[in-house]
Amino acid sequence: MKILIKDGIIVTMNAKRQIIQGDILIEDDQISQLGDVEFQQVDKTIDARGKLVIPGLIQSHVHLCQTLFRGMADDLQLLDWLNLRIWPLEAAHDEDSLYYSALLGCGELLRGGTTSVIDMGTVRHTSAIFEAVSRAGIRYLGGKCMMDHGNGNAALLTEDTTTSLQESVDLLERWHGRENGRLNYAFCPRFVPSCSEEMLLQVKQLADEYQVPVHTHASENKDEIELVIRERGRRNIVYLNDLGLLNERLILAHCIQVDKAEQNLLTTAKVNVAHCPSCNLKLASGIAPVPEYLKRGVNVSLGADGAPANNNLSMFIEMRMSALIQKPIWGPTVMPAEEVFEMATLGGARAMGLQGQIGSLEEGKKADIVVVDINKWHTCPVSAAGVYAQLVYQVQTQDVCCTIIDGKIIMEKGEFLTLDQADILQGAESSLQRVRQRAGLV
């Protein structure tokens, strides 16, 4: 299969950060030529004249299992948000409701130019998420959410340690590397308050053995930190370090309540930070010290988190938000648009451990490509020098006109080739009715 993307403004994100007016030739799952492609017979041509051609956006922290709960947990802080709403709702999922929740999330993500996600699944029925992402065509790193400890409604989800570990390994064996390497497994302990020390130590061993990432939440909220200090006698990041979990295969969502000593630990161990600015504001958690992380060379990427914590899954909103929230604190020159766009592309690729394959548009890399229509009221005028600012501050999800992943066209002009929107919206609505009833929430 050969696809030609013709005559676009290509924002390469290569080492020289070149912006090239030209073509991209896709052969099977790869970019085979970029720039001036000589005439040849292709299966499909996409006219990108006057449009931006960008690397597929990478959201490094989402919860596809929570998409169904959008708008059902507003105006709460983290521990109440989890205990009163999210845990009962997640516990009420059946296989079908989880499948539709994940597909609903994928539809929104793909429509808005997100081509890859790092996802925290839920405790039960995780295969349904893998089935959904397999069908949707999105690039995926994630796994079953692991919980074997905790009070209150956490009990609706907690399992014994062995069951949680065994099921994680079974899912890894079944799904890791599937779909031409598009689906990959990560161990996903929920956060320290949901996990016994024994389980966290086993996760470290297994992740080393299988050489796969670990994804968890860390240091999002002040009460979470206090709880960890009470139960484990140390601050959160210090505790994770003492268990040997900090390394370049660890992706930590949030990292807001992190002191200087802990920042040093994250830096030295080359831990990846997944920054979720909208969620951090909405749950009143705080503002992560992202300019400090970037100055230290910590890899920072972006994510929307789950729909009930946001309530959008738009990378364009997160890019804009990540820049704006820092400026009143640090001054107007922090978080320049090019740096933000790097977090949304190469930063996410590094977090996934896929920087050799995705995150930039270069010959030999995977064809994860998004075309953006900038002939709109809010994107005019266009200047090559202002491309990054345009992408970070102005472009909206509806401006994405084509999403390609692994060399396959997933969405073109708002139409999906992998998903049936009417069927998914209907499946989501009827699933939610069952889940709400079971959870006893209206």
Residues that bind Fe ion (CB under 5 A): 305
Token pair 């992560």 in the structure block, residue: 288
Q: How many CB atoms lie within 10 A of CB 42?
A: 16
Token pair 């997933």 in the structure block, residue: 410
| C-alpha to C-alpha distance for 183 and 194, rounded to whole angstroms | 26
Minimum distance from residue 10 beta carbon to ligand GUN (Å): 35
Nearer to Fe ion, 305 or 339 (CB): 305
- Burial class for 375, CB neighbours closer than 10 Å (0-12, 13-18, 19+): exposed
| C-alpha to C-alpha distance for 318 and 184, rounded to whole angstroms | 24
Which stretch, 107-115, 244-252, 267-275, 304-312, contacts ligand GUN (CB under 6 A)? 304-312
Minimum distance from residue 305 beta carbon to Fe ion (Å): 4
- Which of ligand GUN, Fe ion, none has residue 204 at its interface (CB below 5 to 8 Å by kind)? none
Q: What is the DSSP letter of 359?
A: S
| C-alpha to C-alpha distance for 102 and 428, rounded to whole angstroms | 9
Minimum distance from residue 63 beta carbon to ligand GUN (Å): 6
Minimum distance from residue 259 beta carbon to ligand GUN (Å): 19
According to CB under 6 A, which one of 190, 204, 232, 282 is a site residue for ligand GUN? Answer: 190
Minimum distance from residue 310 beta carbon to Fe ion (Å): 10
| C-alpha to C-alpha distance for 230 and 239, rounded to whole angstroms | 12
According to CB under 6 A, which one of 305, 339, 342, 368 is a site residue for ligand GUN? Answer: 305
- Which of ligand GUN, Fe ion, none has residue 191 at its interface (CB below 5 to 8 Å by kind)? ligand GUN
- Alpha-carbon distances, residue 269 vs 13, 40, 73, 211, 251 (angstroms): 26, 48, 35, 16, 12
Number of residues that bind ligand GUN (CB under 6 A): 12
- Which of ligand GUN, Fe ion, none has residue 125 at its interface (CB below 5 to 8 Å by kind)? none
- Alpha-carbon distances, residue 29 vs 293, 368, 374, 409 (angstroms): 34, 8, 26, 11
Q: Looking at beta carbons, which pairs linking 38-41 to residues 24 or more positions away fall under 8 Å?
A: 40/2, 41/2
> Sign of the C-alpha dihedral, residues 95, 96, 99, 101?
negative
According to CB under 6 A, which one of 98, 106, 227, 309 is a site residue for ligand GUN? Answer: 309
191: contact with ligand GUN by CB under 6 A: yes
63: contact with ligand GUN by CB under 6 A: yes
318: contact with ligand GUN by CB under 6 A: no
Minimum distance from residue 220 beta carbon to ligand GUN (Å): 5
Minimum distance from residue 253 beta carbon to Fe ion (Å): 5
Nearer to ligand GUN, 306 or 407 (CB): 306
Phi, psi of 270 (to 5 degrees): 60, 40
Q: What is the DSSP letter of 347?
A: I
279: contact with ligand GUN by CB under 6 A: yes
CB 112 within 8 A of CB 314: yes
Nearer to ligand GUN, 18 or 77 (CB): 77
87: contact with ligand GUN by CB under 6 A: no
217: contact with ligand GUN by CB under 6 A: yes
Minimum distance from residue 305 beta carbon to ligand GUN (Å): 5
* Biggest alpha carbon–alpha carbon distance for the chain: 67
Minimum distance from residue 34 beta carbon to ligand GUN (Å): 38
| C-alpha to C-alpha distance for 410 and 26, rounded to whole angstroms | 14
Q: What is the DSSP letter of 40?
A: -
Q: What is the 3-state secondary structure (H, E, C) of 385-417?
A: HHHHHHHHHHCCHHHEEEEEECCEEEEECCEEC
Residue nearest to ligand GUN (CB): 217
365: contact with ligand GUN by CB under 6 A: no
Q: Name the residues that contact ligand GUN, by CB under 6 A.
A: 63, 78, 82, 86, 190-191, 217, 220, 279, 305-306, 309
